[in-house]
Structure 1
Amino acid sequence: MEIKKILLLSALTTVAVNSYAEIRIGVVSSSTGPVAMVGIPQRNTVALLPKMIGGEKVTYISLDDASDPTASVKAVNKLINETNVDAIIGPSGSPNANAVIGTIAKAQVPLLAPVGTSTVVLPMNEQRKWVFKTTQNDELIAEALVDDMVKRNIKTLGFIGTADPYGENWSKVVSNLAAKKGIKVTQKESFQRQDTSLTGQALKLIAGKPQAILVAAPGSSAVTPQVALYDRGYRGQMYQTHGAALDQFLKLGGKKVENTILAASLMLVINEVANTHPSKAIALKYMNNYKKAYGEYPATFGANVYDAGLLLEKAIPIALKQSKPGNVKFRQALRSALEQTKELAATQGVYNMTPMDHSGFDKRGRVMITVKNGQWTLLK
């Protein structure tokens, strides 16, 4: 009888330890609503993330915020207060990610944000130090675009972006870079992601007679302004940000987006990238596994979630040396470990984090791409 008691106590202790050691990762994606083209591949990618890290089981709790920043805050609160997650991946949209920064900072839960705008990590402060961004910062992409404009002797530029943190930050970044290179921004316009008619903005942009126009918008919303400009006769050089880096852009835009130039992930032109690129093999592995699971290749936005998994896979074993999961000490150790990431090759590029740089990409995290015959191709 005494032996049975000991065995029972031992079993209960084992269950308690295993339960305590379980790592819980929350995921918030916009798999419905206006940002669904971004959110669906991100949600689908969760199934491809590591199930064991550092010898411990990893459980993912995935929630949909329907592209609504208010719902993002509710989802993050739920994950923190009801599930006691150790980290969160998401949300999908830039306004959504900005909306949750205060919540995750107060709870001291690391957030791996797969969003476009660099405002989630810049300027660095006590709140943003809990955010790590798994996409290229606007400045890195904008620098490549403006350099291309200089090569083409472009002196005047029109700009149209979404009326949210993504478009607003792009407006600031590209204006500053353009001014330094002697490029005049002739007109700036904005629009809501859900807008279907942009006639007024298109006519104002065309009236300024710019040699080129840059559209700063994520997902399907990147197509609308470019189509409006084309339909009203604009034939200058069109540029897009990495927010347009998805095949739906080509399908929705058709011939009206031909010759567009953008700087984005190598995944769009993976077969044209040299085998020596540190990200190529990793990107191909992700793409092939995604296709095996879902019957199609993923949009590059899904890779931002996959990279979050790679970052956690590297950082969690370091944090486990400080504490077991499920408490603030572990989360603090995890945040510190993420910040010390060095030369981590992933699908989008190579991460080198510092206390002031929570995106960590360098020029290996972008390639110049154009649209030729309805296909993405390396710009040569």
Structure 2
Amino acid sequence: MYLRFAAAGALALAFTLPASAEINVCVTVSATGPAASLGVPENNTVPLLPTEFSGQKVNYIVFDDATDPTAAVKNVRKCIEEENADVIIGSSATPGSMAVAGIAAETKTPVIPLAPISLEGDAGHWAFPAPQPNVQMASALVDHMKTNGVKTLGFLGYSDAFGEQFLNATKKQLEGTDIELGPVERFARTDTSVTGQALKLVSANPDAILVVASGTPSALPNLTLAERGYKGQMYHTHGSASDAFLRVAQDAAEGTILPVGPVVVAAQLPDDHPSKELAVQYTKDYEAANGEGSLSSFGGHMFDAGQMIQAATEKALATGAEPGTPEFRSALRDALANMEEVVGVHGVFNTSDDNHYGHDERSRVLVQVDGGTWKYIGQ
């Protein structure tokens, strides 16, 4: 369905400007369903996105896909066929993002997924994910493990594309180390219990356990493992960087370490960090609109999608291509593949045809849960 409450200001532009003067941005997020803790802050960020790109008015058409990949596909098809979308943003979770990327490739429309995904062929050609790649975040965690003497690592992650892709990224980073991986346990986003998986992990008693989940469901492993008496170090991914995780896990979250984008701890960043100024301003703007303490890492990915499109639009328009045409969509794709030092709240983007993520080490920091909040502990 349309999320008119989020995009009302942008949708109104359609009645005051000729279609040829607008750039149409189709957005599908998971504002409801299991990934709502990701999709809500993403949706709330849309009103903070630029309303003009290089002098061209922007029309945001926003949908809720309810964390259903099939619904995400329907949303995007509708937007492309009926709204003549120039670029797509979404979806919130990995399965939906992968499905949307397939439609984007089929219709030759550039897409900015809001979940870290691994794509090949045509789908990869048209997709430029806003989040940090899994391998980059996994390497930060493994580096911390090596430095702190972890020798055995358990795993409890989603039984979907996100869980599998992050597991594979972690295995790659563990190569050449003396850290042993196992047991490896999985659970579904909709599961209400992980007791069986927790019992196996507690029995093995690894030095540390890596949880690969997102939003509210990522609290379930911490709660269950704490109930079963596990005392080792808990690691999570950037998928858990939300207030929902802290609120639900409460004391069971204490001490958990995870890699996050700089925006999560904007005020704590060193003054010379390139994302600090923009991230601090985004935090102020977001919390002014949505309440103190409401900032989420996931909204930051939506904000960065806007930064990426804004930078790419300038180059695309310079080719002479008009918004609403296949030529403009192709030019926008090429521009997204050639971004240089585009600053976002999650880092700095430098892309190429061989690197559609464009992130480097400036896009990640390590934090630890301390007193129910995120504490910056280093790059």
TM normalised by structure 1 equals 0.92
Q: Which residue of 1 aligns with 2:338?
A: 340
Within the candidate set 230, 234, 239, 2:230 is matched to 234
Q: Equivalent residues in 2 for 1:196-235 (5 A)?
A: 196-235=192-231
Distance in 1 (CA, whole Å) between partners of 2:217 and 2:350 is 31
Distance in 2 (CA, whole Å) between partners of 1:316 and 1:191 is 41
Q: Which residue of 2 aligns with 1:181?
A: 177
* Structure 1 residue 207 displacement after superposition: 1.9
Secondary structure of 2:157's partner?
Answer: strand
Q: Which residue of 2 aligns with 1:252?
A: 248
- 283-292 vs 76-85, which deviates more? 283-292
* Structure 1 residue 321 displacement after superposition: 2.2
Within the candidate set 311, 315, 321, 2:312 is matched to 315
Distance in 2 (CA, whole Å) between partners of 1:266 and 1:32 is 26
Q: Which residue of 1 aligns with 2:101?
A: 101
Alignment partner of 1:279 is 2:275 = yes
2:318 maps to a residue whose letter is K
Distance in 2 (CA, whole Å) between partners of 1:127 and 1:186 is 33
Within the candidate set 356, 362, 365, 1:364 is matched to 362
CA contact (8 A) 1:69 1:96 kept: yes
Identity %: 41
Q: Which residue of 2 aligns with 1:143?
A: 139
Q: Equivalent residues in 2 for 1:49-64 (5 A)?
A: 49-64=49-64
Q: Which residue of 2 aligns with 1:6?
A: none
Q: Deviations over 1:266-296 (max 9, x none)?
A: 2222222112110011111111111222223
Structure 2 segments unaligned to the other structure (5+ residues): 1-14
* Structure 1 residue 16 displacement after superposition: 12
Distance in 1 (CA, whole Å) between partners of 2:17 and 2:34 is 42
Secondary structure of 1:218's partner?
Answer: coil
Distance in 2 (CA, whole Å) between partners of 1:292 and 1:261 is 28
Compared CA separation, residues 197 and 321, structure 1 to 2 (3 A): same
Alignment partner of 1:77 is 2:80 = no
Q: Which residue of 2 aligns with 1:29?
A: 29
* Structure 1 residue 361 displacement after superposition: 0.7
Q: Which residue of 2 aligns with 1:10?
A: none
2:117 maps to a residue whose letter is S
- 31-40 vs 282-291, which deviates more? 282-291
Compared CA separation, residues 193 and 276, structure 1 to 2 (3 A): same
Alignment partner of 1:163 is 2:159 = yes
Secondary structure of 1:141's partner?
Answer: helix
Q: Which residue of 2 aligns with 1:4?
A: none
Secondary structure of 1:154's partner?
Answer: coil
CA contact (8 A) 1:319 1:330 kept: yes
Alignment partner of 1:352 is 2:354 = no
2:40 maps to a residue whose letter is I
- 267-276 vs 232-241, which deviates more? 267-276
* Structure 1 residue 118 displacement after superposition: 3.1
Distance in 2 (CA, whole Å) between partners of 1:267 and 1:340 is 24
Within the candidate set 257, 263, 268, 2:259 is matched to 263
Secondary structure of 1:82's partner?
Answer: helix
Distance in 1 (CA, whole Å) between partners of 2:76 and 2:242 is 27
CA contact (8 A) 2:28 2:89 kept: yes
1:206 maps to a residue whose letter is V
Compared CA separation, residues 194 and 333, structure 1 to 2 (3 A): same
Secondary structure of 2:154's partner?
Answer: strand
* Structure 1 residue 253 displacement after superposition: 0.8
TM normalised by structure 2 equals 0.93
2:21 maps to a residue whose letter is A
Secondary structure of 1:215's partner?
Answer: strand
Distance in 1 (CA, whole Å) between partners of 2:233 and 2:106 is 45
Aligned residues: 362
Distance in 2 (CA, whole Å) between partners of 1:96 and 1:164 is 11
CA contact (8 A) 1:139 1:173 kept: yes
Q: Which residue of 1 aligns with 2:67?
A: 67
Q: Which of the pair has more CA radius of gyration?
A: 1
CA contact (8 A) 1:110 1:131 kept: yes
Within the candidate set 150, 155, 162, 1:154 is matched to 150
CA contact (8 A) 1:21 1:326 kept: no
1:308 maps to a residue whose letter is A
Secondary structure of 1:132's partner?
Answer: coil
